[in-house]
Structure 1
C-alpha cells in the first residue's frame, strides 16, 4: 500500500485540495513507519523539505482525537516558530476538526482556559512554558497531558549539546512519568551528524532500542561565491557595503552577520545606499532586541503574497536561522564565518525554499583568518560533515534546577522519593545517588531547600529564585533595557558599560542618540541621531570545532585551487599559504606549526576552542605566560622551544588539576558564567563543570600526546 493510501481520508483530501503533485521523500518514508509502529523517530532532511507534514500527516491519521485529553504535544525552541507553525498545523487540523492551542507567555489566555476546561487536540509549547506548568500548576500537567500519545520536537538540533537540551530531556522524562502509557516521540532536524550511528540522539530521547532515524540525503544544489574586503576597524569597509548593495538590490535577501551590532550596521548602511541610488525601501533588522511586534511585521511583509514581487533585505541574527517561514528568499549572505557547520547549513537552507530552486550563498570575509574559517566550514559542508553532538553525561547544574522544580511542584517531598525521581530520569542517569544527595544537602545549607519533619520544601533563599519567572529557563539571559523614543517602543539593548548618555546606538535599522539611561527601571530614552558620531556595537562570538580548524590547516598546506573564491580572496589565501610554506607539514592530523623567532614562539594549534582553553590553563598552572588568540588558534610565548615542548608533554600527563581550578574559581568568579545554575553547586561539582563544559582535559591530553611540532625552515 502506498504512503498516500495509508493516510486517513480527511488528510488525503487536504493533500488533494493543496494540489500536491506527490509526497516528498521524507514524507513517504515517515508515513509508512509512523503509522505502522510506535517507535520514536527522528526525521532528518534539509530545510523546507516538508518535515513538519512528514510528522503530522501520519500522526493525525493514526491518533483518535475523540478520546479525552491532549493527544499531541509540539515542542519548539522559539515562540516565534510556534506562532508560525500554528497557522500551518491549524490549517491541516481543520480537515479533522481537531483543535490546536498555543501555550506560551504571549498566547491568548482565553484559548488556554478553554483547553483547561476541555483538554483535547494538539498543544504547541516551549520547554520553558512546560517547566512553568510543572512548577506552578503541576495538576495541570496531569490534567492536560496524561493521555498524550505523541510528542513532536521541532529543530531538535538546537537543543542537543546544550543546557536547554538537558532540561528538555528531563521534562520529557517527567511527562512520561505522569502519562498513562508510553509516549512516542517524533523529532525533526535539518542538521544532525551521524557520528556513532546517532547514539547520542537516541539516548537523548530515552529509548535507544526503539528510536529509529529516517534521513533524506537528497542533495540541494548551492551556488556559492566567497568575497574578501579588508576590514581595518570596528566598522565594515565601505567597499563591502557597496558591493553587498549591488549584489542584493534586486533580490529577496537574508543577511547573517554574527552579532546584533553588526546586524544593525548592515541594515542602516544598506538603506542609506539604497536611498542615495533611489532603490527600494525594504531594509530591515531582525534580532532578539528588536521589538516583537516589529519583528512580526517584518516576517509578515516578507511572507505576504501581496508583496511577492517586492524585493527586500533583512539583516538578522539566528532569530531567522531556524524554520520560521518568511516565504521565498533568493539569496543568503553570511558576513564573516559561522562558528559551526550546522549553523551554516541552516542559514544556506533559507534560500531556494520554493520550487526546489538552488540555494544562493554569498560570503563576505573581512580578515584572512575569517575567510579561511569560512572556506573550512564550506568544504566540510560539501563533504556532508556536521559537528557531532556531545551530550553532558553529568549535568550537575541542571540537576540543581530540576531538584528545585520537583520540590516546588510537589509542595514537599521525602528524600527517598526525590532521589527516585532523579534516578528514573534519563537526563541524570550517570549521576550517582550519593552525588545527588550531596547536592541536595548543599542546597539545604544555602537555604535553597528546607527540611520540615521528613519532607523537603523550598527554603527562604530558594523562594526568591523559584518565584521569579526567570527560573523557568536554564540558560542565562542578558539584562536588557527597553529602548523608546517619545513613547514609541523601538526594542531592547543588553546592559553594557557602553550604555550611557550621548552615545549613539544602532537599533531597528536606524541610528539613535541616547538621551537618558534609567538603570533602576531598565529603560533608555533615545532620539534619532544627527551628529554623525560612530554608533556602538554589542555582540559576542562562539566556540569553533576541531574538524573546522583541521580543515583550515589542510587548505593552507594542500595548495589546491579553491572554487567560487573572488580574485582578491584568492590572493589573501595565497598569501597565507606562503606564510605557512615555511612549515613542511605532511600530516594535518598529527603535525602542527611551531614558528621560532629568537626567544619568541608562536604555536598554531589548529585545535578546537575547548582544547585551546585547556592548553592555556595548563600552561598557566606551570607558570608559563602565554597569549592565546582564538581567531587564529595561536599561542604566543617567550620561552625556549625545548622547554616548551617538554612542558607540553608533561602537562598532558598531569592528573590532578583540581587545586588550580579551585584557584581559578576564586580569582575569576566569572569563570562559571557559561552555567546559570553552576554557582549553586558545592565547589567540587563547580570544578567538574569547568572540567567537562568549559575545558576538555581528555580531548586535550589525547591531542597533545599525538601531535608533532613542525618548525619553520
Structure 2
C-alpha cells in the first residue's frame, strides 16, 4: 500500500518539514498492520529505527478526525524520564492539530491532571504505578475517561516480560478494558526482543485480538565494540614481566588514584559526550567519585555527572538536559535508569564497567549511542583485583570477562535475547491485585472477587483452591473482612497497606531517607548513618549533620574524599544459555576481534589455567584434600535448585560439609566420596520424580517479592518450589554432566 497517502495531512506535513526522503521498513510494516487489520501489533526493531513514529503516525492518523470526548491512546512506559522525553516528541508532532498529549506521574502538576479529568482526550502517557493509582482513586471515572479508548501502546516491552511489574501492567490493561467496556488494540515497542512469538503471546494475553509481529529487513548494523581488562593495580595481564605470584601490594603514593580501569575511562571520555554504565547504584557512586577525583588530581574542571534511581528529580533532569545539549561535553555515570529509550542526544560512546546480567541490557545500553546515522559504540571495562598467591582455582577465572564475551557472542551469532518468563505462581501480585480490586470497587462476594481477579490472564496457573487459601489467610490477618451482607471489603490491616502511596508499585523498595544539603535535595539513601558519619550520593561525599527519623530526612554538608555508597541493589538472575556460552568461551580457541591487549592476555591466561585444571571438560575439580569445586554452567535458578539437591538429597550419602557457592558460577564443598560416587549419587537423585517442595527446607518461608510478607506460608513455599527453583533445567544440567563425567 502507499503508506504515505494514508497518513493524516499533518503527519505528511511533519515528514516534509523534517526532510525525510523515505519511510523506514518498520514504519511501512507498522502502517500496513495498523491501517489494514484490527490486530495487536508488536514492533521490534533496532534502537533509533523510528519505532515511536512507526506506531504513532498511523495511530494519530486514525484518531485525527474523531471527536475528542475520551482518552483515545494510552501510552504506558516503565520510566518517568521516558514519558517526559516522548511527551516532547509527541507534543511536537501534534502541535497543529487538536490532539492533546497528557502525562500522568508523580512529577506532573495537579493543575494538568485536573484538566485531563475535566476534558479527557488525545494521548495519556503513564507509568504502571500511576495507572494503578488511577484504577484505585479514579475508579468511578474510568468509563468516562476511557470509554472511547482505541489503542494501548506499551513502550520498552522487553522490560515488562520477566517481572511482576509486567504482570501488574497487563492485569491493569485487562481491568481497565473491562471497566470501560472497550477492546483497545495493543501496540508493543521494543529494540531487544529475541523470540517474537513468545513476546507476541505475552503482549496479547487476555485480548480477544490476534497479535502479529511484522518482520522487517533492517539495515545491517556496524558496531564499534571493544573490551579491555584491568587489574586494579599494575602490572597488567599483557605486561611482559607479569607474574601473578609477585604482585606488589598498593603503596601509599596516591593509592586511591591508582585504578588503571578508571584512568582508562577518564582519558577516553575527555572532550566527548559519553555514558558510563555500572550494574549497581553503589558502584555508580564510587566510579563517579573516582572520576571526579581524577579531575581534581589533574587540576581539570569537573566533567562528570551522575544519574540513578535514588537521586532527586532535579539532579536527574540536570544530567538529562546536559546530555541533550550539543554544546556540553560531559560524561554521565548511570545505572539502568538511562538504559531505556530516552533520547539523550548525540552521545559518542558508552562504557560498561564489568558485564551486565542480560543480553537485553547489553543491547539497550549500547543502543544509547549510534543515533543520527552513526554506528553504536560501546567499550567494556573489566576490572578485578590481583588474585592472592594462595587463591583457589575458581578465583583465578575472570567471570565478568567471560560473561561479557558470552553476551556479545550470543547476540552476534544467534540474535538471542532473554525470552519472556511468565511467573507461573505470582502470589505476591495476586495479593496486590486482590487488594487493589477491593479498594477500587468496594464490597464484593468471594465469587465476584474471584471472577474479577482469577480470570486475569497473568493468573492462569493459580487454582481456585489456592485462591481460597489466600482469602482465608487474609481474613484471619484482617487484611480483608466480612460485611454484615456476606461480602468482602478491605480490613483494618489491609487499609494500612493499601492507603500508603507505595502500594501502587509491585517492585521492592527500601525504606528510604531524603538527603538535603542546605535548600538542595540530593536524593534518597537507605539506612542513614549516625550524625558525624559520611555518606556518598550524587557523586560526592557528605557529612551527616542531623537525621530526622520521623520525617525520613537527612541533613548534611559536603566534604572532600571518597567512600562507598549503599542503596540495597540486588543483581538479577542470569539465564542458563549465558553460562553455557561462557563455558564455550573458556574452551574454544577463538580470539574475538573486539578484545584489546590486556583482555586477550587475560583470556589466554584463564584458558591456560582452566586447561591445566581440566576445565571446562570436567565439571568437578579437586581443590586438595577433601575439597571439591563444581562448575555446573547453568542459570541462577537452576544453580539454586542444584545447590539444594546436593545439600538436601545427597548431603548425607556424600557427607557434604563446608558448602559455599558463588552463584551461578561455582560451588565448593568437602565430601567423603570420590568423583565417580558423586556423579552416580547426584545422577540418581536428580532422575527421581520428586516433588519440588522437597527442595525447600522444613521451616523455610522464602520471601522474595514485595507482598510475600502478607501471604500464607504454604503458598510462599509452593511459589518458591514451583516458580523460583528451575527444576527442569537443573535435571537437564545434571543429566548432561553425568553423561560427560561418569566413566
What band does the TM-score fall into relative to the shorter chain? over 0.9
Give the match's secondary structure for 1:413: coil
Are the counterparts in 1 of residues 275 and 331 from structure 2 also a CA contact under 8 Å?
A: yes
Alpha-carbon shift at residue 137 of structure 1 (Å) = 2.3
Which segment is superposed worse, 189-198 or 86-95? Answer: 189-198
Alpha-carbon shift at residue 200 of structure 1 (Å) = 4.2
Alpha-carbon shift at residue 630 of structure 1 (Å) = 2.2
**Residues 1:23 and 2:23 are matched in the alignment:** yes
Alpha-carbon shift at residue 350 of structure 1 (Å) = 0.6
CA distance in 2, matches of 1:106, 1:133: 15
Match in the other structure for 1:418: 449
**Residues 1:648 and 2:682 are matched in the alignment:** yes
Of 294, 303, 314, the residue aligned with 2:315 is 294
Structure-1-length-normalised TM-score: 0.93
- Pairs within 5 Å for 1:208-607: 209-215=210-216, 217-231=218-232, 238-277=259-298, 279=300, 281-304=302-325, 308-354=326-372, 356-367=373-384, 368-383=398-413, 384-452=415-483, 453-495=485-527, 499-530=529-560, 532=561, 534-538=563-567, 539-582=569-612, 592-595=619-622, 597-607=624-634
Alpha-carbon shift at residue 96 of structure 1 (Å) = 2.1
Are the counterparts in 2 of residues 607 and 633 from structure 1 also a CA contact under 8 Å?
A: no
Alpha-carbon shift at residue 627 of structure 1 (Å) = 0.9
CA distance in 2, matches of 1:712, 1:651: 15
Which segment is superposed worse, 413-422 or 462-471? Answer: 413-422
Give the match's secondary structure for 2:122: strand
| Structure 1 portions without partners, runs of 5+ | none
Structure-2-length-normalised TM-score: 0.89
Deviations 1:572-616 (A, max 9, x none): 1111111221466798xxx73534633221111111111111111
CA distance in 1, matches of 2:275, 2:294: 17
CA distance in 1, matches of 2:217, 2:96: 28
Alpha carbons of structure 1 residues 534 and 76: separation in structure 2 relative to 1, 3 Å: closer
Are the counterparts in 1 of residues 225 and 379 from structure 2 also a CA contact under 8 Å?
A: yes
Deviations 1:150-191 (A, max 9, x none): 001111111111010111111111122123442101010011
Are the counterparts in 1 of residues 544 and 556 from structure 2 also a CA contact under 8 Å?
A: yes
Of 632, 635, 658, the residue aligned with 2:665 is 632
Alpha carbons of structure 1 residues 178 and 143: separation in structure 2 relative to 1, 3 Å: same
Give the match's secondary structure for 1:43: strand
Give the match's secondary structure for 2:333: strand
Alpha-carbon shift at residue 223 of structure 1 (Å) = 0.9
| Structure 2 portions without partners, runs of 5+ | 234-249, 385-397
Alpha-carbon shift at residue 139 of structure 1 (Å) = 0.8
Give the match's secondary structure for 1:707: helix
Alpha-carbon shift at residue 618 of structure 1 (Å) = 2.2
CA distance in 1, matches of 2:558, 2:715: 49
Alpha carbons of structure 1 residues 567 and 693: separation in structure 2 relative to 1, 3 Å: same
Alpha carbons of structure 1 residues 269 and 67: separation in structure 2 relative to 1, 3 Å: closer
CA distance in 2, matches of 1:15, 1:236: 51
Alpha carbons of structure 1 residues 200 and 645: separation in structure 2 relative to 1, 3 Å: farther
Deviations 1:31-51 (A, max 9, x none): 121111111001001111111
Give the match's secondary structure for 1:98: coil
Alpha carbons of structure 1 residues 214 and 237: separation in structure 2 relative to 1, 3 Å: farther
CA distance in 1, matches of 2:615, 2:261: 34
CA distance in 2, matches of 1:149, 1:137: 20
Give the match's secondary structure for 1:229: strand
CA distance in 2, matches of 1:665, 1:296: 44
Give the match's secondary structure for 2:619: strand
Deviations 1:245-266 (A, max 9, x none): 1111121100001111221222
CA distance in 1, matches of 2:191, 2:664: 28
Deviations 1:488-534 (A, max 9, x none): 222211227xx33443332112222233333333222222224x464
- Pairs within 5 Å for 1:32-181: 32-63=32-63, 64-181=65-182
Which segment is superposed worse, 466-475 or 277-286? Answer: 277-286
Q: What's the RMSD between the two structures over aligned residues?
A: 2.5
Deviations 1:67-96 (A, max 9, x none): 521111111111111111111111112232
Alpha carbons of structure 1 residues 76 and 20: separation in structure 2 relative to 1, 3 Å: same
Alpha-carbon shift at residue 112 of structure 1 (Å) = 1.7
Alpha-carbon shift at residue 712 of structure 1 (Å) = 13
Give the match's secondary structure for 1:708: helix
Deviations 1:521-576 (A, max 9, x none): 3222222224x464445444222111111111101111112222122211211111
Alpha carbons of structure 1 residues 83 and 377: separation in structure 2 relative to 1, 3 Å: same
Alpha carbons of structure 1 residues 601 and 511: separation in structure 2 relative to 1, 3 Å: same
**Residues 1:10 and 2:17 are matched in the alignment:** no
Alpha carbons of structure 1 residues 116 and 520: separation in structure 2 relative to 1, 3 Å: closer
Alpha-carbon shift at residue 683 of structure 1 (Å) = 2.1
Deviations 1:653-675 (A, max 9, x none): 26135365253525xxxx31x21
CA distance in 1, matches of 2:419, 2:188: 17
Alpha carbons of structure 1 residues 712 and 529: separation in structure 2 relative to 1, 3 Å: farther
Alpha carbons of structure 1 residues 404 and 514: separation in structure 2 relative to 1, 3 Å: same
Alpha carbons of structure 1 residues 333 and 695: separation in structure 2 relative to 1, 3 Å: same
Alpha carbons of structure 1 residues 273 and 205: separation in structure 2 relative to 1, 3 Å: farther
Give the match's secondary structure for 2:231: coil
Alpha carbons of structure 1 residues 235 and 555: separation in structure 2 relative to 1, 3 Å: farther
- Aligned pairs, how many? 698
Alpha carbons of structure 1 residues 340 and 639: separation in structure 2 relative to 1, 3 Å: farther
